[in-house]
Amino acid sequence: MTKVTLNVNGETRTASVPPEMTLLRLLREEFGLTGAKLGCDVGDCGACTVIVDGKTVNSCLMLAPQADGRDVLTVEGLATMERLHPIQKAFEEKGSLQCGFCGPGVIMSAKALLDENPDPSVLEIRDALAGNLCRCTGYSKMIEAIQDVARGDNRQPVGESA
Amino acid sequence: MKRRGRGIACMWYPIGFTVAANPSAAVVKINEDGTATLLTGTVETGQGSLTILAQIVAEELGIATDDVHVVSADTDTTPMDTGAIASRTTYVTGNAARLAAEKAKGILFEVAAPLLQVKADQLEVCDRKIQVKGFPQRHIDIGDVADRARGVNGQPPIGSATFNPATVALDPETGQGKPFATYVYATQIAEVDVDDETGEVEVLRIVASHDCGTPINPMLVEGQVEGGISMGVGFALEEEILFDASGRQVNSNLTNYIMPTSLDMPEVVVEIVDSYDPTGPFGAKGVGEPTCVSTAAAILNAIHDAVGVRVTSLPATAEKVYAGIKAKRAQEAKQITAG
Amino acid sequence: MEKKPAAVVEREARVETRDVVEMLRAPAAAPLVPLPLEVLVPEARQQTPAVRQRATRPDCRLHGLGQTKYIDDMYLPGMLYAKIKRAGIASARILSVDTKEAEAMPGVVAVITGRDVPVNSFGPSLKDQPVLADERVFHAGDGVAAVAAVTEQIAAEAIEKIKVEYEPIRPVLDPFESLKLETPGLHAPNPNIYGHKVIKKGDVAKGFAESYRIFEGSYRTQMVEHVPLEPHASIATWDPNGRLTIYSTLGRITLGRADISRTLGVPMSRIRIIATIVGGNFGGKNEITTEPVVALLAKKSGRPVKCTFTRPEEFASSTTRHPLVMDYKTGVSREGRILARQIRLVLDGGAYCSWSETTLGKACILSAGPYQIDNLYAEAFVVYTNKTMTGAMRGFGAPQVCFAYESQMDDIATALNIDPLEIRMLNALKEGSLSPTSQKLHSVVVRETLLQAAQRFGWNGNGARS
Amino acid sequence: MRAFDVFTAKDSRHAVALLAEHAATSKVKVLAGGTDLLADLKFASASHAPDVVVDISRIEDLRSIAVTGDGLSIGALVTHTEIMRSPLIRDMFPAMVNAAHTIGAVQTRNLGTLGGNLVTAVPSVDSGPTLVALDALVTVLGPAGRRQMPLAEFFVGPRKTALKPDELLLEILIPTTSLGKPTCFLKFGLRKGQALALVNVAASFWVDRARNAFVAPRIALGAVAPKVVHASTAEAYLEGRAIAPEAMVEAGRLAVGDAKPISDFRASAEYRRDLVAVLTRRALEGAYELAKAKQSEK
């Protein structure tokens, strides 16, 4: 077993895991963070997308030991006790998620995109989501919601809006 | 060179099972504060059906969507439902839910009638109130009535109902009969660019006009249409399970089974046509499956319009389109030589 | 190579020296996940009247927070993980299944084969599908045995140690070969053509005789997978009263319960099915798959058992969309009005019937298109092959026939030099039109959708090409 | 995934030492970005699975992008995202940026490395054609020290390289003679996002301004042979020839003869051959556009 210590959503966490355990399984099975999903386990679908040191990765393609010492942000780390993250709010208001299984991954991709590029074009948004397969929505309402956030329509958190 | 083309396709599609009974049952419980709980055996599989059902119950009770909580998909606690299949939830389960709400509402009307000094059939609901038809100023808060129904009349307002679409069996010889209660209709128009040197097809835009009867929730209808179109784009151009000579799949993963990514989807414009079906809940029919029906046909017609090639087998991969273009050129060259 | 990784040696030692119960790993206490417990409700949810509001979905909020609990996100104390051994051969007789080596593996708790299934057949119309194949393999995705183990990893390695001896039978992969009389019945005594439908209206011969021109075309479609992002999954757990609870990705729980009751031989009153939120269906989750398997493994092991499909299983071991071969013959007047149409559809049903009957019926009825056709003859067949089973998929044959009738419609328009929009307006069903089954139709808006789409698209009516 | 041991290398020497230590007795795999390796191992059979994985993803000395006296050096662990964002590469070789952009999606490009992509050596390797067209060299480190070879020779066959089990790919070097050489990369896949190449092509040449002729033309073809290959016949035809549309068409036609595509479930050999002709011509056109743009900048 290998001991790994990493920062997950701002908290230091430690686990002793088999060396071949993926980051995805570490998050889901050891830390109980089931937001990231296992959809294909080979990096095609993006349902397991999380942000490691500021960059999106497929957590099914990263070994837990590789995440040792790194900062990991999962979908559970976006909201606060008071409010939804603007992307979460926009996705809710636009009805951007249907079955929702791809949602956490898509939202993490959107977050990483907007962190780097606050005003993306539609093509840039499409490019940023190309690693997140969705079968329900045709991506349209996701793209609209991300544009809303970029435009600032949704900068105001839900809990504080009038 | 890229060649632009446009193609149109329309379709019709039924709601519910073919003749076979496909009933739904529903239970509506009005709480003491005038909010309500719906029990349904259907399953939320992503379409937003639970929200649609909440809206239908809310409409019947004159309350808001948020006032209705939906309990679903548990064989111990929810009544029989044929399930999330055949684009039937809004129409069939929706009718059952509306009828159940109507029955529960009837109990409230019985309680409210003496208070408002009218007969029950002179009452209606509006904005969380029970009021006298034609005299909206004579009203009582629905919560007060519900609480009184329980606490004074001892008759908690609970309604249950079932619905099964009306059909007539088909004649076994001729197939004549009434297999479905109702149908929806739609047209989609696709605009494409075809690269005439490679056969690559880029779908630029799809305009879709869909009938779903009354759109109970236009946002969710749009979501269904947009999603159905993405499935249609894959069906048209990319997706196919392939087998080797011994009958084993060769592309059983998402690397090699090609479905549309966000980069492969065109701009999608959704219109909902004015329509009302008196047999549906508040005029609604349904929208789930029909959204993916005409997309491939529209795209294939657009390819034909662009390069004059009729691809007759799906998916119309770039290779197939290119083979068509080559064959057409060879044919034209032959005609020129012959002429 | 002989050398085992140290990690394997270490873990095998642990499994061998400890009681299996100790190996069960409950997730560590869930970390604090900040959740906005009271956020404002968007206005559309608070409005009356409720209908026509763009009301948001409470489940969508949970999805976005990563808080929706899909089956694979659930864990029950003591839960085991199941894997199903797949045949990997399209057509064969099963001579023997040897599970000894798998059973002996440290961490393996229960193993079952098709012979352990009380009633090994189910299906929405024909009961031709086994839970796990016992005598005969009908397609490569058939399950032949299943293992429950303390980890998914051990279960996956255990199924590789199950040895199955097959007597291969030449597979039938082409629906037209299946149609031939001399082809042996795949599901004998059932014939290979297991469904047939006819719609007859008016007099096609007369209609063709009166036609200005007759168009013929043949169209084909492919086998398609639903690709729900969430793979099929279920968890089974029994209580000491012999009551079974199954958490499942089923989209139809009441009919699913009937199939589970039948295959397990357990009365419905003792079965509870809970389908939380399904991560995509599209018709692919309308039948039981893993449910009886986990129920039997849970019974044998006395523990809750979960099974989640891998993505390859999702393709090979769940239903798919029917491939169709569609022959269309259509007679039209000089103005482009359809006077007669004759259609033949052949559906490749794959290994099992599943929802073929519904698909056959809908495809046949809808094959005429949304058009007024007085003289119609449509005939449809569905046949068995040794490919992946087909079943319900968004549209039940409609996307296939729409591709055919709308392709031919454009060919007719081109040949007669009529704009594609115009020819459709001319033929479209109207309020009160009689359908192919002579049903009087109401709330018909074909022409309205044509005009609305054309206007929004900017279709300018010059589509006619000479 | 089957169990294996993971050893984390601190630097490239340590990695080679770990490889040398374990390669003799165990099946060893090297983990860089992991996007190919872990995907392969998820459903790997017992015979295919490794016992030991040497994790090189933390090595810091293989991450630089720099111009040295020998040319442009790119560390093996530079990710596709880093290539796309490198101002140096953007400026000198937009084709490399384009090639990197066609690999997988954002998530895979963030993890996946140039070295990993090359070592995987699938015939459709998207990083391959541009670098082969630029006459890139690779440096590998083994127990006996460093050695350098042309990338074209590093590729041996499908999923096969000249790398020995105890060797590590260190860097990719685009020689000084190729710096700034106008190059165009084109890929044809079955869809736009996350596509695998049916054919990918890179074309590169200098322009003899006086004669407006091709100088040192290079055309590299991917996915149409067991490994990335030069379209040698086409290259020879173009050398010194006046730049003209007809010459590019002819080069495309000749490149078809240099390709040895196979038919598989993705496409037929015939279609791939047709694509080679079109993409080669278009890549030459693209490189020429770039050359002209560079010229007008000056």
User: Which residue(s) pair with C97 in the sheet?
Assistant: C164
Contact C254 B182 (CB under 8 A): no
Chain D stretch 65-94, residues whose beta carbon is closer than 8 A to a beta carbon of chain A: 81
φ, ψ of residue C159 to 5 degrees: the values are: -65, -25
Enter the tokens of residue D256.
Answer: 């078809």
CATH 3.90.1170.50 domain extents, chain C = 80-169+232-308
Coil, strand or helix at C102: helix
* B268 contacts on A by Cβ (under 8 Å): 138, 140
User: Which residue(s) pair with C324 in the sheet?
Assistant: C347
Amino acid at D241: R
Contact C65 A79 (CB under 8 A): yes
Active site residue B289: yes
Amino acid at D171: E
- The reply to whether A2-75 and A86-155 are identical in fold is no
* A61 contacts on D by Cβ (under 8 Å): 34-35, 38-39, 107-108, 111
Helix (H) or strand (E) holding C439: none
User: Which residue(s) pair with B280 in the sheet?
Assistant: none
- What is the number of helices (H) and of strands (E) in chain D? 12, 14
CATH 3.30.365.10 domain extents, chain C = 175-224+319-417
* D2 contacts on C by Cβ (under 8 Å): 153, 157
Q: How many whole angstroms separate alpha carbon D113 and alpha carbon A50?
A: 19
Q: Is the pLDDT of residue C17 over 60?
A: no
Residue in D2, D3, D107 closest to A131 by CB: D107
pLDDT of residue D46: 81
To the nearest whole angstrom, how far is the Cα of C214 from the nearest Cα of chain A? 39
Same domain flag for D92 and D170: yes
* C224 contacts on B by Cβ (under 8 Å): 234-235, 239-241
Global ipTM = 0.96
CB C184 within 8 A of CB C155: no
What CATH number did the domain enclosing D88 receive?
3.30.465.10
Q: Which residue of B has its CA nearest to C250?
A: B43
B264 touches chain D (CB under 8 A): yes
B313 touches chain D (CB under 8 A): no
Residue D143 lies in a domain: yes
pLDDT of residue C21: 44
B204 touches chain D (CB under 8 A): no
Q: Which residue of C has its CA nearest to A35?
A: C66
What's the mean pLDDT when you consider all of chain C? 93
pTM of the predicted model, to two decimals?
0.97
Which range marks the domain in which residue D44 is found?
A: 5-55
What's the mean pLDDT when you consider all of chain B? 97
C83 touches chain A (CB under 8 A): no
* D43 contacts on C by Cβ (under 8 Å): 310, 312
Q: What is the mean pLDDT of residues C373-399?
A: 98
Residue in B45, B56, B217 closest to C54 by CB: B217
The pLDDT tens digits for C22-59 are 444 444 455 567 788 778 899 999 999 999 999 999 99
Written out in words, the top-level CATH class of the domain with range A86-155 is mainly alpha
Q: Is the pLDDT of residue C463 over 60?
A: no
Q: Which residues contact A126 (CB under 8 A, 6 or more apart)?
A: A139, A143, B262, B263, B265, D193
* A126 contacts on D by Cβ (under 8 Å): 193
Q: Sorting pLDDT into bands at 50, 70 and 90, what band is A4?
A: very high
Same domain flag for D242 and D208: yes
Written out in words, the top-level CATH class of the domain with range C80-169+232-308 is alpha beta
The pLDDT tens digits for B172-204 are 999 999 999 999 999 999 999 999 999 999 999
Same domain flag for D291 and D204: yes
Q: What percent of chain C has pLDDT over 90?
A: 88
* A124 contacts on B by Cβ (under 8 Å): none
Q: Is the pLDDT of residue B214 over 60?
A: yes
The pLDDT tens digits for C270-317 are 999 999 899 999 999 999 999 999 999 999 999 999 999 999 999 999
pLDDT of residue D298: 66
> CB count, 10 Å around CB of D209?
10
Q: Is the pLDDT of residue C18 over 50?
A: no
pLDDT of residue C23: 45
Q: What is the mean pLDDT of residues B49-74?
A: 98
Give the strands of the sheet with B129-132, arranged side by side.
Answer: B123-126, B129-132, B135-141
Same domain flag for D137 and D84: yes
Chain A stretch 116-155, residues whose beta carbon is closer than 8 A to a beta carbon of chain C: 133-136
Q: Sorting pLDDT into bands at 50, 70 and 90, what band is C1?
A: very low
Residue in D3, D45, D51 closest to C11 by CB: D3
Same domain flag for D251 and D216: yes
State the total domains in chain D. Answer: 3
Contact B264 D192 (CB under 8 A): yes
Q: What is the mean pLDDT of residues A102-120?
A: 98
HSE value, Cβ hemisphere, 13 Å, CA-based, for C121: 9
Written out in words, the top-level CATH class of the domain with range C175-224+319-417 is alpha beta
Decide which of 3.40.50.1100, 3.10.20.30, 3.40.50.261, 2.70.98.40 is the CATH code for A2-75: 3.10.20.30
Neighbours of chain D (3+ CB pairs under 8 A): A, B, C
Q: Which residue of A has its CA nearest to C232?
A: A39
Same domain flag for D150 and D86: yes
Contact D193 B262 (CB under 8 A): yes
Alpha-carbon distances of A70 from A23, A64, B17, rounded to whole Å: 11, 10, 54
Helix (H) or strand (E) holding B189: strand B183-195
CB D173 within 8 A of CB D137: yes
Lowest-confidence region among A149-153, C22-26, C386-390, D245-249: C22-26
Going from the N-terminus, what domains does chain B have, and what CATH number goes with each? 2-14+180-335 (3.30.365.10), 24-162 (3.30.365.10)
To the nearest whole angstrom, how far is the Cα of D95 from the nearest Cα of chain A? 18
C66 touches chain A (CB under 8 A): yes
Sign of CA dihedral C365, C369, C374, C380: negative
Domain ranges of chain A: 2-75, 86-155
* B322 contacts on D by Cβ (under 8 Å): 271, 274
The pLDDT tens digits for A15-69 are 999 999 999 999 999 999 999 999 999 999 999 999 999 999 999 999 999 999 9
Alpha-carbon distances of C131 from B102, C156, C191, C226, C276, rounded to whole Å: 43, 19, 22, 21, 23
CB B214 within 8 A of CB B282: yes
Residue in D4, D6, D108 closest to A43 by CB: D108
Catalytic residue among B191, B222, B238, B289: B289
The pLDDT tens digits for C95-142 are 999 999 999 999 999 999 999 999 999 999 999 999 999 999 999 999
pLDDT of residue C32: 66
Averaged pLDDT, groups of 10, chain D, 298 residues long: 94 96 93 96 87 96 96 98 97 97 98 98 97 98 97 97 96 97 98 96 97 98 98 98 98 98 97 98 98 86
pLDDT of residue B138: 98
Contact A55 D81 (CB under 8 A): yes
Residue D132 lies in a domain: yes
Beta strands in C125-188 (DSSP E): 136-137, 143-149, 163-168
Q: How many whole angstroms separate alpha carbon D281 and alpha carbon D290?
A: 14
What CATH number did the domain enclosing D292 receive?
3.30.390.50
Neighbours of chain B (3+ CB pairs under 8 A): A, C, D
Decide which of D143, D158, D178 is a domain's last residue.
D178
Q: Is D13 exposed, middle or buried (0-12, 13-18, 19+ CB in 10 A)?
A: middle
Neighbours of chain A (3+ CB pairs under 8 A): B, C, D
Decide which of D145, D178, D211 is a domain's last residue.
D178
Q: What percent of chain B has pLDDT over 70?
A: 100
For residue D220, what is the DSSP state? E
